[in-house]
Structure 1
Amino acid sequence: MTTRSARPRVAILGLGMIAEVHRRAALLAGAEVVGLLGRDHERTRAAADAWGVPTAYRSIEEVAEGNADVVHVCTPNATHAPYSLALLAAGGKHVICEKPLGADLAEAEAMASAARAADVVTAVPFVYRYHPVVREIRARRLAGELGATHAVHGSYLQDWLLSPDASSWRVDPAAGGASRAFADIGSHWFDLVEWVSGERMASLIAETRIALPERPAGSVASFSGPAGADAPRVTVTTEDIAMVLARTADGVPVSTTVSQVAAGRKNRLWFELDGAAGSAVFDQENPEYGWFGTATGAEVFVRDPGAGSAEQRRLATLPAGHAQGYAQCFEAFVADAYAVMAGQEREGLPTFEDGLRAARLTDAVLRSAADRAWTGV
C-alpha cells in the first residue's frame, strides 16, 4: 500500500521528548500532524493546542478509525505491541514504532508477523544508520576496501542514570520490559554493526549488572534529571550495564560494552571494524569524522556533500564544517520512511524485521546472562 496524499496525514502516540522529535521530523518531511494520543486526555488536549494539532484522541480505537495515513508510536515500551497490533489489524495505516518493538520476544514476533500480513510500510527508528559517515563506512566495506572482517568491537555508553536519585519509567519492567540498557541502547549498537559490517551474530555470552539496587519510584520522564533524595525507593531489576562477547555466522569475534552509568559519556556509540585490508571507526559523539586505517597510515574522512559515496553525499545535507547530528539522522529516517510509503526506494530503512532481530538479540543476552553460558541467537 502506498500513501495516497502528497502530504501524509500523521498521528503521533505519546507526548514526551521522543514524540516531539518524531513530530518535528514529520513536519520537516512535509507531513500534516492531524492527531495526538497521550495517557491523559487533558494533557493530550493541551499538547494538541500547543502544537497546533486539531485532534486529541481518547483511545487507540479512535486512532485506528481516524484519517491518519501514518501513525508514529512513541509511547512506553509496554504499549508498543497493543497499539501497533491494533493499527495493523484495522488496516490502511503505515506504522513507525519506537524500539524495542515489543516488551519481549513474543510481542516482537507477533508484531513482525502482523506487519508481514499487512499491505503497509512499517519502520523502527534505528536512526544511527543515517549518519553520513556510517554510510561511507558501509560503502567502503561493500566495495571491498576493508577486506574480510577480522573483528568488530566497541561500546555504547551513557551516564543519565549515574545518580542514585535518577530514575525513569524505563527502569520499571512493567513499562520498559525485562531488559533496560541493552534493549534501549545495546540494540542500537548491534543493529548498526550488523548493518554496516554485513556480519550476523550467531551466538553470544553476556554479563549484566545492576549498579544501583534501588532507585526512586514513579514515572519520571526520561533524561529529566534526578527525582530527589526524598522520593520513595523501589528495587531495581533491570540492568544498568551489559557486556557481550559474540561470534558471527562467519566466525568473526565481536565485543561490546553497554552502560547507562558511565560518567561523562552522554551518548557515545562507538565501533571499530578491523578488516584484512583496513579498519574503520565511527564515534556518534563526533559524527562529522570517520577514521580509516591501513597498514601504512590512517585517513580522517570529513562528512561532506561533495565527497565520498553516493549515500554519504545524499545524507550530508549541510556543507562540511556545519555540524550534523542526531536530529538530522532522525529527519532523514522519517523522510525515507515516507518516501517508501509513497512507492519510492530507499537504502537501509529499518523495518519491523529489524526490530524483531533486535528483540532476538535482547532475548539471547538475557538468557545468556541468566545461564552464564554461550547462547544461540
Structure 2
Amino acid sequence: MDTVAQVISPPPRIGMLGGGFMARTHTRAARLAGAVLGVVGTSGPASSRTAAAELGYESSAVGADFFEERLDVVHVCSPNSTHLDHCLNALDSGSHIICEKPLATDSSAARAILDRAEARGLGGTVPFVYRYHPMVREARARIRRGDAGAVLTVDARYLQDWLLDAEDDNWRVDSASGGPSRAFADIGSHLVDLIEFITDERIVALSAATRTVHPRRGGAAVTTEDTVVMTVEMSGGGIGSILVSQLAPGRKNNLVVEVAGSEESLRFAQEQPEELWVGRRSGSQLLVRDPDVLVPDAARLCEVPAGHPQGYQDAFNAFIADSYAVFAGQRREGVPMLADGLRAALVTEAVLRSAEQRTWVEVEAL
C-alpha cells in the first residue's frame, strides 16, 4: 500500500519563522519528511538562537538576514499580522511557503500572497490539516460517489476552553497581532474548510452572530470575538448550523461535522478520529479506520495498521509531506493550497460583516 511517508529527493532545505507550538509541530513533520532544517527566526536574536538549539536547526537569523538564506521552503508560523510581509519576502527570495492559518488578516492581503506566488511560479499551502484524517477522506469519498445522496443539512461545531476565563490571555486576543477575528479565524476557519472539503460544496450565504464575553483580558480591551454562531446556505441547496467557541468548559478540541444526505448521514469527530459514523434510516454503522477496507485516498493516509491510533500529529505529518511533494512537481489529492487560505479569509469577512449588519450576507467568490 502506498502511503505519504515518501521522502522527496533531494530533500528541501527549510526555514522556520516562529518558535512556538506550531513551529514545533511543523518541525517534527518536516524532520519526518526528510527536510534539512536550515534556519529558524523568531522575534529576536536571543530567542532565535534558543529556538535553533531546541528544535535542531543549523542556524538562526532575524529580519532581512533570514531571507538571504538559500531556502526551498519557508514555514510561516509567526503572529497573524506578520504573515503578509513574511510570505511576500519568502516568495520574493524564491522559496515556496507553508503559512499557518489565517493566511492573512484580510482577504486583500491573502489575495496579494496568492497573486505573488503565481507571479513567481512558486507554490504555497495552508495547514487545514483535519483534511488529513483518513476517516475524513472516507466521508468525502462516500459523498462524491453518491452514497449519501444530496446534502440536506450540516450540523457542525468547534469548541475549546483554553480562553474560558478573563485571566486567560494570548497574542491572538489582540486584533493588532491576530487580526479582526479571533475565534472564527483561528478555529472556525478549520471547521468551514472541513465542511466544504467533505461535502464538495461551498457556503454561499450566511447569517452570523458573534459575542465577546470578556471585554478585557490582560488589562487591555478586547475587540475580537469569543464565540460565533451561524446559519449557512450551501451551493447545492442544503442548509446548516455552525457553532464556534473558545469558552466551552471541558471541551479541549471538540471539532465535529455531521452531514445529513438524502440517503445517509456521516459524522466525524476529531477527538475520535479513528471512527466515522454512517447513519441510515434502516441500520446505521460505525466504520473504524482500517486501510484494507477504506477508499484508496483514505488508505494512503493510514501510516500505522488498524487498531493503532492515529491523531493530530500524524495528520500534520501527512500534510507537510504532501506539501513538499507538490512543491517538487508531484500530484497529491486534497492539498489545501493558498486559494483555500484566501477562501477562509473571504468567509471570515462575511461572518464579521453579517454580525455587524445583523443580516444575511453572500460569501464573495474567489
**Stretch moving more, 312-321 or 345-354:** 312-321
**Stretch moving more, 265-274 or 43-52:** 43-52
SS in 1 for 2:205: strand
Identity among equivalent pairs (%): 48
Q: Deviations over 1:192-228 (max 9, x none)?
A: 1101101111111100001111111xxxxxxxxxxxx
Q: Deviations over 1:230-271 (max 9, x none)?
A: xxx111110000001111223211210000000111001101
SS in 2 for 1:315: coil
> What residue number does 1:228 align with?
none
Q: How far 1:113 sits from its partner (Å)? A: 1.5
> What residue number does 2:251 align with?
265
**Stretch moving more, 329-338 or 341-350:** 341-350
Amino acid of the structure 2 residue aligned with 1:279: S
Q: How far 1:78 sits from its partner (Å)? A: 0.3
> What residue number does 1:182 align with?
184
Alignment of 1:1-377 (within 5 A): 6-59=10-63, 61-90=64-93, 92-216=94-218, 233-377=219-363
Whole-angstrom CA distance in 2 between matches of 1:58 and 1:361: 33
Q: How far 1:133 sits from its partner (Å)? A: 0.4
SS in 2 for 1:202: strand
Whole-angstrom CA distance in 1 between matches of 2:170 and 2:15: 25
Amino acid of the structure 2 residue aligned with 1:62: D
CA contact (8 A) 2:24 2:55 kept: no
Q: How far 1:4 sits from its partner (Å)? A: 9.3
> What residue number does 1:222 align with?
none
> What residue number does 2:3 align with?
none
Q: How far 1:62 sits from its partner (Å)? A: 2.3
SS in 2 for 1:297: coil
Whole-angstrom CA distance in 2 between matches of 1:303 and 1:64: 42
Amino acid of the structure 1 residue aligned with 2:175: P
Whole-angstrom CA distance in 1 between matches of 2:52 and 2:12: 18
Amino acid of the structure 1 residue aligned with 2:37: V
Amino acid of the structure 2 residue aligned with 1:87: A
Q: How far 1:149 sits from its partner (Å)? A: 0.8
SS in 2 for 1:184: helix
CA contact (8 A) 1:305 1:317 kept: no
Q: How far 1:121 sits from its partner (Å)? A: 1.4
Q: Deviations over 1:78-118 (max 9, x none)?
A: 0001100112223x211000010111222112112212222
What TM-score, normalized by structure 2, do the two folds share? 0.95
What TM-score, normalized by structure 1, do the two folds share? 0.93
**Stretch moving more, 13-22 or 99-108:** 99-108
- Judging changes above 3 Å, is the alpha-carbon distance between structure 1 residues 348 and 198 closer, same or farther for their aligned structure 2 residues? same
Whole-angstrom CA distance in 2 between matches of 1:176 and 1:275: 37
CA RMSD of aligned residues (A): 1.3
Question: 5+ unaligned residues in a row in structure 1: which ranges?
Answer: 217-232
Amino acid of the structure 1 residue aligned with 2:230: V
Whole-angstrom CA distance in 1 between matches of 2:68 and 2:146: 49
**Stretch moving more, 111-120 or 168-177:** 111-120
Q: Deviations over 1:40-83 (max 9, x none)?
A: 11110122123332221121x22322111110000000000110
CA contact (8 A) 2:16 2:23 kept: yes
Whole-angstrom CA distance in 2 between matches of 1:116 and 1:281: 36
Question: 5+ unaligned residues in a row in structure 2: which ranges?
Answer: 1-6
**Stretch moving more, 259-268 or 44-53:** 44-53
CA contact (8 A) 2:129 2:316 kept: yes
Whole-angstrom CA distance in 2 between matches of 1:168 and 1:329: 25
Amino acid of the structure 1 residue aligned with 2:122: V
Whole-angstrom CA distance in 1 between matches of 2:241 and 2:114: 28
CA contact (8 A) 1:305 1:318 kept: no
Whole-angstrom CA distance in 2 between matches of 1:52 and 1:336: 22
